Chains A and B, each alone.
Chain A
């Protein structure tokens, strides 16, 4: 009652000028369901006074008998109803079939979808919830046209995200988009619980992203967390799933017999000798007495089936003035690598908005994330690839071994111990990740409904506490760790953003105008301290402290202290104008100042225009509900480049002089002057709704040029590289997203969607140079004008020399002492030798075509949905095979072992076993570069809804039970675990498991 009095008071205080007031009451319901709708805004037309409906959809308003009431609610079609002196007006609101009221979050505000002139894709919480993943971005794979999501199988690690190709030279995460979580900037969002996310908007083109200026060159991903709604009863939602992860497409390695055959054919005495030693030590196989009686499948030994689970509980609701959403969640995932490899995350969050007075709204949002990650042993996957199959896990005869008798390949004659088990057992990498995101705002309604000033203060604080422990072991003289070691690293990131934004909205005649202006201050600080200790009592985990270690031998070089602090200042503004819902004009401008670059200020403008053709009189085609043609242009900056790179600096180094540790300094002799990296993008597109809005079609074409691209340029003779602004990189592509949904009957509805995107990445200019080399000297990648950035560069393989006659006939083969079984490279320039001039571009790691599709069917209480995704046109450097360049003591994959050249006509693509050891065949060539295309069934979900059913006399809450298969099938040709390799270089990747879960969602 008190509340009601207060409300009355408020309304009177504003509307006191009006005479002849009558009280109008009524209920607002949804036309389709007849359910009352809380939170509907009821406003007297032409004024700013109004109210909102309560929990039961009821409202009461004082108005003059001749006023017109405007009822509006997001997602429903607004209605204007003249009062005509009635005291009761009940209203049914229809589902909006048009875009009229759909709003989308843009930077520092919201815009109606129909007013957009740029390319923005939004994914809502239901889509996100379908994928059982700890990583929100992972759930978007295949769902946003033009966005590439490269999965990461390691628990707790984020996928690699690329929006519309790659504009910045890759490295140190500078190709990732900017994530903005409720106004705060992040480099990744691994701390967010996916169930807490209300929506994810991907601002794909420069015009949309330009409001974020200097950080936005690689696209912007806006994340809104869930909030409560006004006038809504408290709703308690439990959402959870439990499931298992199963390794998919496990790479077949050569078995003992195949490996032995390869060794015998190698012609290498030590390799043949090692086989003999293995037979002496472990006996001969009874099946084939020429093979050692050991056949270890190392992948089989290190992979396990691992559980994954998520549980979250959220309470949300609101009254007239306040709304809230409070929740907590737990996510747990074990890695499929059979060691202490897991990720756990416990999150708490609360979001509260309160209308303190009619001129002030305040709110606060806090997310606390507490995660614990046990990281994989860094080399486990590559060790398992390389370990020879004739080595057993345990070796009874290795009596000196300690603390378990693992086998060592050194006993067979190999250079290293090889056995990957010690790497799993004697490493413990613990990382505690604690993140707090706090943001508080106060919004002043300076001119009600027209002019708002919002000041927001965001602080994100991250504390990382890392403890990596290495335990001692002995398996052979060169395969041992004498001392227990412990490395501790603590890092804190304290990032603050203070935004002040003034927004003006107005409508007059046919004009509709939104003007926004603001300023933002950014302060980013990082501190790090790391130290290492040796020889501590490692038997008990409570003693794993540097304090417990041998103080006499603390490695001084392992003590490092680091820090950085950067400041940013920005001013920005936006104008969005709409004439008669037909002509749209849009423009933003941002000025960014950063302490990071020698050049302090950058300016980033954008303009856009749209024409809603369907609103024109001549456009009267019934099938077309909405049709908009739009175009935009904008400029963006990228400051995710190493701070002050290229300045001349002095480093401290240590050296042994006269058996004493002495420190001195060295001065880097290369320097360059870095400027802003600027991205310019033009986007044209069509947005449409057809056939009673059953079909939506979104088409976009873009051209994005990164100018002054900071590219790593190798330093001649010295090695290493330095960033210089020396390139123009272009990404261009076409994107289409189609969705069809239809309700056949009240019981049956379905939807089908598809999206495709193309990408052409091209180096346009290198400021006078013809190419810039990247990658490593042995596995060359080259950025050449007219070719993709960092394209694989080497010899084209024509085939394999089959016989002596072919060798004799080829002067190239003769000059290089080649034999049958060696690769035949194409002599591109026809000068009868193979040299550097014969290398060509062998492909790029960027997919030129990506696609995704989904199907959803609802029949009564049953829901079925499935997604597929895929890509083609990208290449992967199979560096696992290439590593033979460093040592040939390795196993190889079964495909190579089986399909090797071993006599005339046996292979025209793989060299012989002997050939594998030769530098000629180890050169960067097509043999190492493979097709990375794949097709994947991304997700299959079957769900059953128990909507408020009565069971045995008790009213049950709304519940949804679901069965999900995530990534059950992936089809590809590549000879590796997994065709998803972020940078295209596969030395070792964590396999991406299939996930099978059962889920439950209950609303009380």
Chain B
């Protein structure tokens, strides 16, 4: 008995010790189903495109509230969506609420993709150090810089003084200083100078690796936009001249369809947010939430097509402005009318009779019914029901969102020239008339600043708040005092979101 005891004891203890010692190594096993960044094999140059695609994925995946909040404050568009999202309406009326969720959401949405671009740039550098083609790596870095520039540009336009991220770790913002809007625009311009040489001199739709991606002309466009904000008109003229002289871009004759499926990756588009249902009636679809802009009540030509939320209403002021100019193409493309809306226009004795083409049926045959939230809907965010892939019903599914297009380049060019800059690429008259001619308007000669500004108003309404930021830059504040609004210069920028002020106290002290 004793011997058995001892044997058991011995076997037990030895087995235990051996087994347990062997187990110790297991503590060093890494966690499963993660790809730890430090394990990336940077010598595998063919993988370098992955972070680039990832940067586009982050850039294209815009939260639905991004665009509305950036662009609602101009006199081209009203909030719409009455009775809902009160603070969105209040923002349109220049009564700001720092606690409103959209402010924080926009701030975080823009910055998180800026940081995605920052992280990607580090990846490209690592690939480059490990033998990847330097020119390709530099091109990818330049693409990420250009996307970052677009996001930073929006931030500075909305909030004025913002952070320029210096490192890829957002925690470093805790000790960062704010840059003035002027500094941000200069930073963008400098970044674009670095990027331009490394980017392919092709139209985005000529790219074979990332069709529709960033090219040299996208960076030039960003440079022009940043310099316009700085009122650095010669730099605007120079950048736009390069785009114009390239001959890569042209105005799409079919203005209506430019904003619809046929306009995807059009020759006119310089920067485009791409979405798709991949031609399939069901399954994966990557979309932007256009329903926000859609009419809340309609009888679509294709039954079953979903309606929208009834926000983002083209203003009566803008519609009347267009009627005054005798515009049809751009008005018909930009506005979906309801009968209630048409009646509201006619309420003004000056517009008691309207052209007979103004109706609540769109050129594509969708009937827009009356709804209480708004009188009009944005046509540039409208996808006709007959352009939906059969099987899809979500409003605007498969439609792209245009970021920058050639018409804006031409009009910036014209504005720079009338503001005193010079260019040999194209005259201000030619630039403005190219845009007017496509809209079916007669040419002008000796265009003035007012005419250029009006042309921008007509051409770029409901697009990225261009109108609002033009009025701010040109200090034409009075235009913003319409329909019960009272604007003053101290309302130019939104207050920083309370959620950010709580985290970054520097935002609390420097507000104007």
Contact = CB atoms under 8 A, between A and B. Distances in A.
B111 interface: yes
A658 B306 contact: no
A656 B280 contact: no
B169 A659 contact: no
Contacts of A509: none
A562 interface: yes
A657 B111 contact: no
8 contacts: A413-B372, A558-B284, A654-B57, A656-B274, A657-B213, A665-B53, A719-B104, A780-B502
B53 A273 contact: no
A32 interface: no
A477 interface: yes
B115 A557 contact: no
B191 interface: no
Interface string B27-67: 11111111111101000000001111111111011000000
Given A413-B371, A415-B309, A661 B284 contact: yes
B16 A653 contact: no
Contacts of B100: 919
A667 B37 contact: yes
Interface string B252-264: 0000000000001
A714 B28 CA distance: 29
B108 A268 contact: no
Given A650-B35, A777-B499, A716 B296 contact: no
Given A519-B20, A594-B27, A649-B35, A716 B274 contact: no
A771 B501 CA distance: 13
A596 B27 CA distance: 8
A740 interface: no
Contacts of A671: 169
Contacts of B276: 656, 659-661
A482 B282 contact: yes
A836 interface: yes
B158 interface: no
State the 8 A-B residue pairs at the shortest beta-carbon distance, nearest first. Answer: A664-B53, A553-B283, A270-B372, A655-B57, A719-B108, A656-B276, A664-B54, A658-B211
Contacts of B61: 655
Given A444-B12, A657-B210, A667-B37, A717 B54 contact: no
B57 A477 contact: no
A78 B484 CA distance: 93
Interface of A: 13, 266, 268-271, 273-274, 359-360, 410, 413, 415, 444, 446, 453, 455, 474, 477-478, 480, 482-483, 498, 500, 519, 521, 523, 534-535, 550, 552-558, 561-569, 593-596, 600, 643-644, 647-651, 653-671, 714-720, 771, 773, 777-778, 780, 817, 835-836, 885-889, 917-920, 922-924
Given A564-B32, A596-B31, A919-B97, A480 B393 contact: yes
Interface of B: 1, 4-5, 8-9, 12-13, 16, 19-20, 23-24, 26-38, 40, 49-58, 60-61, 82-87, 90, 95, 97-101, 104, 107-108, 111-112, 115-116, 118-120, 122-123, 163, 168-171, 173-174, 210-213, 264-265, 274-276, 278-284, 286, 291, 296-298, 300, 304-307, 309-310, 371-373, 391-393, 497-504, 508
Nearest to B174: A716
B184 to A, nearest CB: 14
Given A664-B55, A667-B37, A359 B108 contact: no
Contacts of A266: 83
Contact of A836 (B60, B275, B291, B501): B501
Nearest to A719: B108
Contact of B8 (A359, A647, A778): A359
Question: Which of A474, A498, A648, A835: most chain B CB closer than 10 A?
Answer: A648
B39 to A, nearest CB: 9
A269 B282 contact: no
B19 to A, nearest CB: 7
A478 B119 contact: no
Given A654-B57, A919-B100, A483 B264 contact: no
Contacts of A648: 36-38
Nearest to B101: A778
Nearest to A360: B8
Contacts of A550: 282-283
Contact of A535 (B60, B274, B282, B304): B282
Given A649-B35, A718-B108, A780-B502, 11 more contacts: A269-B372, A415-B309, A478-B306, A595-B29, A600-B28, A664-B54, A669-B115, A670-B169, A719-B108, A836-B502, A922-B86
B79 to A, nearest CB: 13
B58 A669 contact: no
Contacts of A917: 83, 86
B99 A919 contact: yes
Nearest to B400: A656
A274 B95 CA distance: 27
Nearest to B305: A477
Contacts of A498: 19
Contacts of B9: 444, 446, 453
Contact of A564 (B31, B40, B57): B31
Contact of B40 (A446, A650, A886): A650
B52 to A, nearest CB: 7
A359 B5 CA distance: 8
Nearest to A658: B211
B387 to A, nearest CB: 14
Given A777-B497, A888-B86, A658 B212 contact: yes
B95 A567 contact: no
Given A268-B82, A273-B372, A918-B86, A656 B275 contact: yes
B50 A659 contact: no
B297 to A, nearest CB: 7
A636 B43 CA distance: 45
B171 A670 contact: yes
Question: Which of A653, A664, A918: most chain B CB closer than 10 A?
Answer: A664
B58 A666 contact: yes
B499 A773 contact: yes
Contacts of B116: 666, 669
B236 to A, nearest CB: 29
A795 to B, nearest CB: 10
A650 to B, nearest CB: 5
Given A643-B31, A716-B171, A920-B97, A664 B280 contact: no
A664 B50 contact: yes
Contact of B508 (A665, A836, A923): A836
Nearest to A413: B372
Given A666-B119, A718-B108, A777 B101 contact: yes
Nearest to B311: A415
Given A269-B83, A413-B297, A659-B264, A478 B307 contact: yes
Given A477-B306, A521-B23, A919-B100, A657 B53 contact: yes
A924 to B, nearest CB: 8
A771 B5 CA distance: 61
A401 to B, nearest CB: 12
A365 B49 CA distance: 55
B87 A919 contact: yes
A558 B108 CA distance: 26
Contacts of B173: 716-717
A472 B448 CA distance: 58
Nearest to B208: A658
B104 A777 contact: yes
A187 B90 CA distance: 48
B271 to A, nearest CB: 14
A914 to B, nearest CB: 10
Given A478-B307, A595-B26, A665-B53, A521 B33 contact: no
Given A556-B284, A569-B27, A595-B29, A477 B34 contact: no
Nearest to A558: B284
A214 to B, nearest CB: 12
Contacts of B108: 717-719
A519 B27 CA distance: 15
